[in-house]
Each structure stands twice: as C-alpha cells, then as structure tokens.
Structure 1
Amino acid sequence: MKQSAVSEPVSANRSSSKQRLRDSMSSLGMLPVLLIVSVVLFQLENSRFLAGENVLNILQQAIYLILISIGQMLVLVSGGFDLSVGATVALTSVVSSTVMVKLGVIMPDSPNIAAFAGFGSTIGVGLVVGLANGIGVSFMRVNPFIVTLATSSVIQGLTLLISQGSEVGPLPDSFVSFVGSGMAAGIPIAALLALPVIGVVYLLVDWARYGRNLFAIGSNPKAAFVSGVRVNVSLTGTYVLCSLLTAISSFMLTARVSSGQPLLGAEFPLSSITAAVIGGCSLKGGQGGLVGTILGALFVTMLSNGMDLVRLGSNYQMIILGIVLVVAVLIDRNRR
C-alpha cells in the first residue's frame, strides 16, 4: 500500500509534466518556422550571420534575455506580468558594482571576495524587488500593471540616486574576464553559469508541486484556492523568482559591459514579454513553457543581431520588435 501511495503522485506528476510539455510544444505555432526563415534570410543578406564568431555572439547575447524571459514566463503563466524587469536590471547592476568597487578599495588583494559580495547583493536586490511586486499583487490585490509600473519608477529613482547617473567602476578584472567574456570548451562561461539556474526552474515547473499550482492559479485562481492552493504565497514566490532570475542575468550582463550601468536593461520589459508570448505563453495565464520561452528569446536575440548585421537602425529595430509583439498577441488570441 505504501509503495502504491508513493508511486501515484510521482506518476501523476510525470504525466502532468509530459502533458504540459506537449501543450508547450503545440503552442509554439509558427515559431520554429520563423526561426528557420530568419536564419536563411539573414544568411543570404550577410554571409557572416552563421559564422562561428557571430553564432557565439548570439548565444552570449541571448543568455541574458533567456533568464529574464523565463522569469517573465512564470509571471505570465500565473496570470500577471512584470514591467519592472528592466529597472531591476539597472538597479542590480549599480548596486552589485558599488559593492564590488567599495570592497575592492578595502581589500584590493581579494577580488574574488568582492565578486561574491556583489553576487550576494544581487540576490538581495532580487528578493526585495520580488517581494514588493509579489505582496502588492497577491496580498494587496493591486493590478500587476500598476504594481510593477510603480516599482519600476521607484527602482529607477533609487538607481539614479545611488549612481548619481554615472557608471560605477572599475570592476575586478577577474570578474569581468571570467563571467563577462570567459570561454570554456568554446562555450561562453555565462551560458554555463545559466544552465544550472535554468535546470532549477525546470525542476520547479515540471516536477514540483509549485509548477502544478502555478498553472492552476493562472487557469482559475478561485478554483485553485478552493482546491487548497495557497494562491497568495505561490504568487508572491513567482514574482520573487522572476526578480531573482532578472537580477542574476543583470549580474552577468554587468560583467559583460564591465561597469555598473544606471540605464542598463531598458529594452528587457518589451523583449522578455515578446519572447515569452511568441514562445507560447498566454497573456490570460495558465499556458506557457520553458522550451518555447527559450526559443522565443533566441528568436528575439537573433532578430536583433541580424538587423544589426544588415545595418538597420535601432529605431527601426524597436518598431519591428513592437510589431512582432502585436503579431504574437494576435496569435495568442486565436490560440484561445
């Protein structure tokens, strides 16, 4: 009897995980085709697009958006969204850089300690921002648009106060060279560092109770509450997880740009929502997946990279990205 009692939830969990994977793959729609068509068109336009150096560059650029888009995907599945991810990137960059610079002055011979302290402050920023968003949405029952827009404004003000509108640096050379531009077996260190983070999210969403609760909340929060799901706690945890993923991405991106940037990450709210929606997430909640979101982030990054190679101005790129988001929303409506 004990063996049966244990095996039933495990079997059910595996079944629901496979079903969500099938739903996620079926919701990709035209994304695989768009990826292939984009690759062909950009390669025909510029033969350097598929060159090894540029492929690595795309991977390096994509990893930051992938992490943020995964966090955005979790919030979208819950029935909300997070407009504060861009401001969180900037605040994390400035705070972590400030910590590293100050410790670098105090302990000039211990750059690794400064880097670890900077990472600790990164986690702190992610927790605080995530709790502010989560409590506002779940316990105070304020619309996610208002909450995350308000926190974004507060965060931007704090970022400018801390940095005085200037770059923060210099950062430890070992941190910049290892995390920002380091390679291992031909793969960017940033991508290798992101893999275990993505793995943890995969386990949480596809194999833990948290994932089942998240999809239940996004589909029908009242029914989820009646079923015994702690809706407020789960929602708060989701916003915290989104902010943590965003902060970790910012920490690695800070190494890439080699200084704390108070204006870093302004494009991420639009890019992350676009990547998640075009990857199969529904703006109504209850639908989304890790694989589709990663592919969506790769598509958005590849689109930006390809437009750079064909020398399309940044203003035109923003217009095209906005059009892509509108098309993704229309596809989402037809899916439902």
Structure 2
Amino acid sequence: MSKTMSTPLSPPSRAPAAAFSAKLWFVKLGILPFLLAASILYFAGSEPRFLSGDNLFNVARQSTFLIIVAMGQMIVIVTAGLDLSAGSIIGFSGVVAALALNHVLGTSPEAVWLAIAAAVGAGLCAGLLVGAINGFGVSVLGVPPFMMTLGTMTSLVGVALSLTSGLPVTGMPDEFMRALGYGRIFGMTPPILITLVLFVLVFVLLNRTTTGRYFYAVGSNARAAQLSGISTRKHVFMAYVFAGLLAAVAGVLFVARTGSAEAMNGQPYTLQAIAACVIGGVSLFGGMGRVRDVLLGALFITILTNGMNLIRVESYVQQIVLGLVLIVSLVADQLRLKWLA
C-alpha cells in the first residue's frame, strides 16, 4: 500500500479543523490582520469611546504622519537598506519650513501665500538634500546604511538646534495652519487627503513602474540585478531621496498641525516607521513588502497607542507593549516564511 506524502500545510488527521484553517489564513495574510482585529476588539470592549466617530477621526488624523514616513522607510528597506534619520528629517525640514515662512512674512507681511509656498518648498528641498546625502553615502561611498543614517540623524538634530538656538519656532499664520493642518478639503483634513494621494503615488511607483520593480530586484539580489543591467547605485540613491522627501512632507504637515517647529519633533517616528514596516511584512533583508500592508501596520500602531491612551496605560508600559508586538511580528514572519518554503 502506497504511503501518501503530506505537504507542510496538510492538516494532521487529528488536528482541529479550526486550527488548520487559522494556520492557512496566517500563511496567506500574515499576522497583521490578526493583531489589528484583536486590538480593535479589545479596546472596543474596554473603552466605549474607542469606536466613537470623534476618536476614529482622531486615529485617522494621527496616523497620517506615521503612514507617510513608513512608506518612505519601506522604499529604503525594500532595497535592503535602512534610514535611521527619518525622524530627524521631520524635525529639520519643519524647522527650515518655519524659518522660511517667518522670514518671508518678516519682509513682506502681506504676502502670506508666497510665504506658505516658500515654506513648503524650503521644507521639501531640505528633505531632498538630506535624502541625497544619505543616498550618496550609501550607494557611492559604500557606507553601511545603519552608520550613514545614524550619522545623519545625529548631525541634523545639531543643525536644527543651531538654527533655532534650541528654542521652538512659533508664530505660524492661521492661513498656513488651515491650508495644511486643520482645514477641510472634500470633507477631509489636508494631511489625510495628502496621505491618500501619496499612498496612491507610492503604490503606482512600486507596482506599476520599472523603477519600482528595480527597487525590489536590487533588494532581492544586488549582484544579480547589476549583472542584468540594473544600475544598483542609481536605484539605492533614489530610494533614499524618496524617503527623505516623504519625511519632509510629514515634517511640513507636522508644523502646520502643531503651529511650532522643533528639532526633536519627529524623533518617535523613526522606530515607529520601521516597526510599521516589519509588522506589515516588509523583509529587513530587502526585496519583499507591500505598501498596503505598511499602511495597515502604521494604522495598527496608531490604534494600539490610541487605545492604550484611552484606557490610561502608562507611557513606559506602552513602549514595552510596542516592543513585544514588534518581536512577535518578527518571529511570526519568520515562521510564515518557513511554512511557505
């Protein structure tokens, strides 16, 4: 009598059907949907305000900055890189934008919209410049991404503090804050609308363009990509430029929301963006990840933080929880890849 070989996903004869079904869904979707559903159910049962319209709107608004930064971080990680300077770029670009805004208003108080345009342009250019520096160091000089962006992160904080003399830059005009912060466009605040537009653009870049396919190819096997005619240096450089630009967008929007710019504004977002990517299934070894899952990962982190704030969990405990979730996600991702093999 022949003996039938079973695949890794074949249900053992005595295994419960529910457990096998859960395993299939886990292999197909990853751990993120389970974490997201569990957190929503737990916080909804623990705090009635969690599912209120005001709180859901607050979660959507709070998640915009993290989603934008996480999308830039994903582009870098897909190429097998890492950007530790994202949070510092947020603070630095915000400071540059605020200083440019105040400078133009100081010379031409009536030219409010010119000042807003100058602020946005200066902030985005600051992010592009830092991204180009990171890209040049990693792709041309061969500096390891961790060390290159760590150095940039430290330097940017010092530069931003020097520009502001260690003080926050305030005095943002109401037009600036309304146009990019709390106004309404098609019923949505500008950060939410801008995040949706950027999500579509990044999705198209990674899934519908040659450049996006080359990003994945470089991250999967840089040597093979180079032998096939892909300019690996060019695409690694571009990845860091995109990341710098997206972090700068978040920096300008952050200033418009809070009405002040400080060197340390974006520091929490660096590790949170990396966590959103990891929880969303982006491989830290490069070549794997979907921007849709990164968006969900950022939403999950925001929901987790928001829910813990509502039920009054201490800040240090929140850090412990976030770290444990990150570890569980890494272990689960490795297990899923093993089952897929």
TM-score, L = length of structure 2 = 0.89
User: 1:5-33, CA deviations, whole angstroms, 9 ceiling, x for partnerless residues?
Assistant: xxxxxxxxxxxxxxxxxxxx967412112
Structure 1 residue 65: Cα displacement: 0.4
Partner of 1:204: 205
Partner of 2:63: 62
Structure 1 residue 298: Cα displacement: 0.3
Larger mean CA deviation between 142-151 and 101-110 belongs to 101-110
Q: Distance in 2 between the 1:193 and 1:67 partners?
A: 9
Matched, 1:247 2:244: no
Partner of 2:79: 78
| Matches for 1:31-180 after TM superposition, within 5 Å | 31-180=32-181
Structure 1 residue 102: Cα displacement: 1.2
Structure 1 residue 109: Cα displacement: 1.3
Structure 1 residue 186: Cα displacement: 3.6
- Matched letter for residue 142 of structure 1: V
Q: 1:248 to 1:26 in 2, by over 3 A?
A: farther
User: 1:152-180, CA deviations, whole angstroms, 9 ceiling, x for partnerless residues?
Assistant: 01111101100111110211211112321
Q: Distance in 2 between the 1:121 and 1:314 partners?
A: 34
Contact 1:27–1:280 (CA<8 Å) still a contact in 2?
A: no
- Matched letter for residue 318 of structure 1: Q
Q: Once superposed, what is the RMSD of the aligned Cα atoms? A: 1.4
Q: Distance in 1 between the 2:138 and 2:259 partners?
A: 35
Q: Distance in 2 between the 1:239 and 1:335 partners?
A: 29
Q: 1:97 to 1:26 in 2, by over 3 A?
A: farther
Structure 1 residue 264: Cα displacement: 0.3
Q: Distance in 1 between the 2:210 and 2:67 partners?
A: 23
3-state secondary structure, aligned to 1:49? helix
**Can you give the 5+ residue segments of structure 1 that lack an aligned partner in the other structure?**
1-24
Q: 1:185 to 1:50 in 2, by over 3 A?
A: farther
Partner of 2:11: none
Q: 1:94 to 1:134 in 2, by over 3 A?
A: same
Structure 1 residue 185: Cα displacement: 4.3
- Matched letter for residue 38 of structure 1: S
Structure 1 residue 188: Cα displacement: 2.0
Which 4+ stretches in 1 moved above 4 angstroms?
Answer: 25-28
Q: Distance in 1 between the 2:271 and 2:309 partners?
A: 18
- Matched letter for residue 108 of structure 1: P
Structure 1 residue 181: Cα displacement: 1.2
Larger mean CA deviation between 292-301 and 181-190 belongs to 181-190
Contact 1:56–1:187 (CA<8 Å) still a contact in 2?
A: no
TM-score, L = length of structure 1 = 0.90
Q: 1:290 to 1:26 in 2, by over 3 A?
A: farther
Which structure has the bigger radius of gyration?
2
3-state secondary structure, aligned to 2:81? coil
| Matches for 1:296-335 after TM superposition, within 5 Å | 296-335=297-336
3-state secondary structure, aligned to 1:243? helix
Contact 1:28–1:292 (CA<8 Å) still a contact in 2?
A: no
State, as a whole percentage, how many aligned pairs show the same letter. Answer: 37
Q: Distance in 2 between the 1:331 and 1:101 partners?
A: 49
Contact 1:274–1:328 (CA<8 Å) still a contact in 2?
A: no
Q: Distance in 1 between the 2:333 and 2:162 partners?
A: 40
Q: Distance in 1 between the 2:233 and 2:268 partners?
A: 29
Partner of 1:238: 239
3-state secondary structure, aligned to 1:210? helix
Q: Distance in 1 between the 2:187 and 2:203 partners?
A: 25
Partner of 2:276: 275
- Matched letter for residue 92 of structure 1: S
Larger mean CA deviation between 114-123 and 222-231 belongs to 114-123
Q: 1:280 to 1:327 in 2, by over 3 A?
A: same
User: 1:211-265, CA deviations, whole angstroms, 9 ceiling, x for partnerless residues?
Assistant: 1101111110000000000000000000000110010011111111111122101
Partner of 1:257: 258
- Matched letter for residue 123 of structure 2: T
Partner of 1:30: 31
Contact 2:73–2:243 (CA<8 Å) still a contact in 1?
A: yes
User: 1:38-96, CA deviations, whole angstroms, 9 ceiling, x for partnerless residues?
Assistant: 11111111111110011010000001100100011111110011000011111011110
User: 1:286-327, CA deviations, whole angstroms, 9 ceiling, x for partnerless residues?
Assistant: 100110000000000111111111111222212221222222
